[in-house]
Amino acid sequence: MRTVFLETYGCQMNVADSELMAGVLERAGMSLVDRPEDADALILNTCAIREHAEQRVIGRIGDFARYKQRNPAVVIGVAGCMAQHLRKKLLDGRRSLDLVVGPDGYRDLPRLLQRAAGEPVAQVRLDRDETYGDLEPRREPGVRAWVTVQRGCDKFCTYCVVPFTRGRERSLPLADLVRQVRTAADQGFREIVFLGQTVNSYHDGTHDFADLLRATDAVEGVTRIRYTSPHPSDMSVRVIDAMSTCAKVMPHVHLPLQSGSDPILSAMNRTYTTGEFRDVAERIRRAIPGVALTTDIIVGFPGETEQDFEATAALMREIRFESAFLFKYSARPDTRAFTWPETVSEEAKGHRLSQLIELQHQISGEVHDAMVGRDVEVLVEGPSRRGGEEREPQLHGKTPQFKTVVFRDDGTPAGALRRVRIVGATPVTLFGESLAQPTPAPLVTIAG
């Protein structure tokens, strides 16, 4: 077993887990390849958050089964949340599948792959101590390094499968994280994004999330620090204070609201009321000038009435999130809500979703239009796909608020900061003009 093709679905935690797997595989002497036809093993790192995510993976397993028909020696593995979620069912149901490995089984991946070449293997034991803190990931090159600071979730929102697929919450030791951040900075990464299911409940026994932000703020070579996703109930005074005082921690909080109706929030087991959410949002906005708030919202949760839905839309209008990920509720086996009758038809869910998409589009458009004429600092990420051959080459990067800006290529290298004046906007993208100063001519003293 020499070569592995690894494909990732789902959230950033999965992207980071794939980088972790890549590190484990490479240290075991295996190499990652870009094309499935070049690989001895094909691994899908999967997501179980909504049914749609699982269906996409099932389709992909079918594609991989065709490679196996051509080359029966090839090992096919499913990793991640869906592996954990469907466990034995996956192995029993599909003869083409050789390996099922859950989120706590990656340390052993090389050995599991070797075994799976002989017989089907399942490693789906959740381990409440596994953090992979000591393992160096093989990061995809770029400006941004994803650093997992916490794994699992203890919140048990009634719609969510994550506590069942990723197990109990555990944090990596602060010293391991500071080491990872230093290594990433030395490798040339300029932006660090801390990841965790409820990232701000980070606690390693001694240090909390505010300590982690402060410790990272002091690491030389790091330009920007971000994190996702915090839980509103864990947005402590200490964390807000650290955000407002650490120069490198960017003014953006992705704060999942889920619903703007108190009875629905309660049924979701979200542990806050709309009043408390409003209060957190206000405290953040007061402490961090210019902060962007973004969110996640689910429509069509069991019991959501037209009034509940209207309350969500009203709260979105009131808070004016800069952007939002909007989802239709998807019943997930194992969760508490799975046992409750669905009261919102698929059609009504679709209608509610498109209403919120429209509303958010309007708000995002207004927020972006108000930025035209302002100057922002962009961390450049590289050439923009919008360039195209027929147009002048463009660069793209992010503002401190994590908004994408596209501007004419002025030679700024990836990883550098550039001041840009915003000259145009859509609800998703800002367009700018570089304010690069021409290099000043050297001062020459003329004698005489």
In the complex, which residues of this chain contact ligand 5AD (CB under 6 A)? Answer: 49-50, 159-160, 256, 258, 296, 298, 327, 329-330, 332
- Would you say 329 or 431 has its CB closer to ligand 5AD? 329
- Would you say 50 or 398 has its CB closer to ligand 5AD? 50
Measuring CA to CA, how many Å separate 177 from each of 21, 281, 308, 386? 18, 28, 41, 36
With beta carbons less than 8 A apart as the criterion, state whether 250 and 256 touch: no
Q: How far is the CB of 198 from ligand SF4 (least distance, A)?
A: 5
SS3 312: helix
The partner in contact with residue 399, picked from ligand SF4, ligand 5AD, none with C-beta cut-offs of 5 to 8 angstroms by kind, is: none
Q: Sign of the CA dihedral 411, 415, 416, 417?
A: positive
- Would you say 162 or 344 has its CB closer to ligand SF4? 162
**Contacts of the segment 153-158: beta carbons below 8 A, 24+ positions apart:** 153/197, 153/198, 154/198, 154/201, 155/197, 155/198, 155/231, 155/269, 155/271, 156/269, 156/336, 157/258, 157/268, 157/269, 157/270, 158/267, 158/268, 158/269, 158/335, 158/336, 158/337
- Would you say 25 or 162 has its CB closer to ligand SF4? 162
Q: Residue 429: which of 389, 382, 384 has the closest Cα?
A: 384
Per-residue burial over 265-274, b = 16 or more CB atoms within 10 Å of its CB, e = otherwise: bebbebebeb
- Would you say 159 or 321 has its CB closer to ligand 5AD? 159
Round to whole Å and give the CA distance between 184 and 197. 22
The partner in contact with residue 253, picked from ligand 5AD, ligand SF4, none with C-beta cut-offs of 5 to 8 angstroms by kind, is: none
Q: How far is the CB of 268 from ligand 5AD (least distance, A)?
A: 10
The partner in contact with residue 332, picked from ligand SF4, ligand 5AD, none with C-beta cut-offs of 5 to 8 angstroms by kind, is: ligand 5AD
Q: How far is the CB of 160 from ligand SF4 (least distance, A)?
A: 3
Residue ranges binding ligand SF4 (CB under 6 A): 153, 155-157, 160, 162-163, 197-198, 231
Round to whole Å and give the CA distance between 317 and 314. 5
The partner in contact with residue 49, picked from ligand 5AD, ligand SF4, none with C-beta cut-offs of 5 to 8 angstroms by kind, is: ligand 5AD
The partner in contact with residue 330, picked from ligand 5AD, ligand SF4, none with C-beta cut-offs of 5 to 8 angstroms by kind, is: ligand 5AD
- Would you say 352 or 418 has its CB closer to ligand 5AD? 352
What the block records as the tokens of 221 is 């070579």
Q: How far is the CB of 368 from ligand 5AD (least distance, A)?
A: 23
| Closest CB to ligand 5AD: residue number | 296
- Would you say 103 or 400 has its CB closer to ligand SF4? 103
Torsion region of 388: left, alpha or beta (phi above 0 gives left; psi -120 to 50 gives alpha):
left
Q: How far is the CB of 126 from ligand SF4 (least distance, A)?
A: 15
